[in-house]
Amino acid sequence: MTQNKSNQKIKLWNSIIIILSILGLTVCIAVLFPQVRQMIMNFGEQIYHKKATTYQLWIRALLSYALGGICFILFFDYLALTKSGKKLVQKVRQEIKECLSEIDFRSFLKPLLLMSGVYLLGILTIIRANYSYLDDLGRAIDGSRRWYDWSRYVSEYLSIFIHGDTRLTDISPIPQLLAILILAVSSLILVYVIGNKKITAVRLLASIPLGLSPYFLECISFKFDSPYMALSILASVFPFLFIARKGAFIFSSVVSLLIMCMTYQAASGIYLMIVVILGFQYWNRREKTNKEILIFLGRAAFAFLLAMMIFKFFLMKPANFYATTATFPLSRIIPGALGNIKDYLFLIKSDFGVIWKAGIILVLLFFIIKSIYQSSQNKPLSFLVSILVVILSVVLSYGLYALLEIPSFLPRSLYGFGAFLAIICVYVVSDFKKIAVVTVLALNWCFFTFAFSYGNALADQMRYSEFRVTILLQDLSALYPNRNRDDMKFQLKNSIDFTPVVKNIAKRNPIIEKLVPMRLSAIYCFESLYYLEYFNFSYYKNANTEAHTGSENFIDFSVYNLPVVSDTYYQTIQSDGNRVLITLKH
């Protein structure tokens, strides 16, 4: 009797799956027809009350989603309806259970609390500054998400859950506290994996650059984006908990890497760096045979390439703003990638101060020395391979951005270098000399204290920016008190300067001037939100917006030789009644 009920239940579920699959395939196949795509475009324009400005990009996206939907449905049906598919699912599920059962999660509690405390202390001044960083201004004012435009679907939908609404509001510091927790878990897993399942306080502290590198400090500054940027790191390290089982490792890698791609793609090199360092450890200590190492590298490469192909062909939306999703053609991919890597390394060199560079060089030397000292291989060969591992890891730290025709070189796009340092540091302090441990902790202390300086600099620059905006708006409101004019345009020229606090930090650590937004600036694309809408002065148009969007209608008001209507210590205002040119003074 029980067997009959079980069979009936299985048949019912199979019938439901088949019906839903037919409906899904019908919709996806229908989208392949131009007429249906046009109907979808028209419907979208009616919903959003605006024309699609990038029509061809939308068409490509619809085609990708349709083809991806077809592949997903067919693969799901294979797993759910065929004997071999069900057997595969059962095998992977069992492997995942076995891997998880081998981990003592209770032992993770104290290390997790330690790293959460370290990261919380590290970003305390950033939270205290309460700085609305770049995109935060727009999200707080209009409540929009817009991660979808960059194919960050996980960020798009997780934000609805975290904020409790489809319309975003500023709920800081909750997102940043979530980011801290995610970073702490990431550090814990990284130490667990690289440290051969041995977790110590020193190894955990060695992983600090993962979340407090100068580049990731920009990510943690975002009140809205920070948890999803941190999630991209966690997704990159999580699969290595299942490294002992083939099916579980490949499955978790593909799923996790897709999550990484749909949160923040700057983490795309972290997974590969861990693969390289683990492969090197296996080889250097003869923990595995060469055949076993090649199998491991092959599985990881297969999972990575599969995830990237799924994302590129079925999920990625083409973008062309300050960075592009277009990759180099095959004929230019090697020289193009080398050029991007060269620019990437030059930026790091120019961003970091002398003490940081010296500390990094010492840590890398200890990495090579330890590799030779503990090697079970030929010593000269171990020396050469360890250098190759360092070079390869540095290249991989930039991830897939190296292959883009126009990559992003913003600080938040370079946090793979912080992950590289964390991996090297954890490796160096694991069962090695005390002098190496002291060197690693000294370097990480420099990053830790810089986080405090950065947060205080944010607060100081914000106070100065608000002071300058207050003076500017007082002059403008006195000159133009009419709130109902829609024919007046403002245009900024020059910018305010950094405060003495920021300039002092920049003498040793130049990256601070990239991390702290100057805000009131002609080249700062959020300045209209800041000095017009953020301060409720939104009754006029901002002419600088046309320059930021690359509009052909942009005209520099300087060519009109407008009469001066106000000249003070901080700014000069020129106007003919309709056009207003504001020249900011340092």
**What integer pLDDT is reported at residue 485 of this predicted model?**
65
Mean pLDDT for the chain overall = 88
Lowest mean pLDDT among 61-70, 456-465, 491-500: 61-70
Please give the structure tokens belonging to residue 533.
């809408």
pLDDT band per the 50, 70, 90 thresholds, residue 268: very high
Check whether 323 has a pLDDT greater than 60: yes
| pLDDT value of position 490 | 84
User: Please, which pLDDT band fits residue 540 given cuts at 50, 70 and 90?
Assistant: low
pLDDT classification of 523: cutoffs 50, 70, 90: confident
Helical spans, DSSP H, in 207-353: 209-212, 214-221, 226-237, 246-261, 270-284, 290-310, 333-351
The answer on pLDDT for 184 being more than 70 is yes
Q: Which helix (H) or strand (E) holds 502?
A: helix 500-506
pLDDT on residue 144: 84
Contact present, 228 and 147 (Cβ < 8 Å): yes
Parse the chain into domains and list their residue ranges: 2-81, 103-432, 461-584
User: Are 585 and 563 a contacting pair, CB within 8 Å?
Assistant: no
Whether the per-residue pLDDT at 58 is higher than 80: the answer is: no
Tokens read off for 512: 């601070």
What value does the mean pLDDT take over residues 183-203? 95
Question: How far apart, in whole angstroms, are the C-alpha atoms of residue 415 and residue 269?
Answer: 10
Joined together, the tokens standing for residue 89 give 């699912």
pLDDT at residue 554 above 80?
no
Angle of CA points 113, 187, 122, to nearest 5° = 65
Measured distance CA(155)–CA(227) in Å, rounded: 9
Whole-structure pTM value? 0.91
Residue 547 has pLDDT above 60, yes or no: no
Please write the tens of the pLDDT for every residue from 277-309: 999 999 999 999 999 999 999 999 999 999 999
Sign of CA dihedral 485, 486, 487, 488: positive
> What is each CA distance from 325 to 112, 305, 344, 448, in whole angstroms?
36, 17, 17, 34
- Which residue stretches of 82-173 are H helix? 83-101, 109-122, 124-129, 135-142, 153-163
Contact call for residues 534 and 141 (beta carbons, < 8 A) = yes
Partnered with residue 567 across adjacent β-strands are: 572
Residue 491: pLDDT band with limits 50, 70, 90: confident
Confidence tier at 550 by pLDDT (50, 70, 90): low
Helices vs. strands in the chain: H and E counts, helices first: 25, 5
pLDDT score recorded for residue 534? 81
Residue 376 has pLDDT above 80, yes or no: yes
What integer pLDDT is reported at residue 129 of this predicted model? Answer: 95
**Mean pLDDT over residues 342-354, rounded?**
95
**Residue for token digits 């591992």?**
389
Question: How does DSSP classify residue 314?
Answer: I
Give the span between the Cα atoms of 313 and 63, in whole angstroms. 10
Residue range 486-504: average pLDDT?
88
Strand, coil or helix: 163: helix
10-19, 157-166, 480-489: segment of lowest average pLDDT: 480-489
Residue 549 has pLDDT above 60, yes or no: no
pLDDT winner (highest mean) among 141-145, 150-154, 437-441, 480-484: 437-441
**Span 222-266, pLDDT tens digits:** 999 999 999 999 999 999 999 999 999 999 999 999 999 999 999
Assign 360 a pLDDT band (cuts: 50, 70, 90). Answer: very high
* 9: confidence class by pLDDT, cuts 50, 70, 90: confident
- pLDDT given for residue 77 in this prediction: 83
Q: Name the more confident of 355 and 539.
A: 355
Largest CA distance in the chain: 94
pLDDT digits (tens, 9 = 90+) for 414-457: 999 999 999 999 999 998 889 999 999 999 999 999 999 999 99
Q: Is the pLDDT of residue 124 over 70?
A: yes
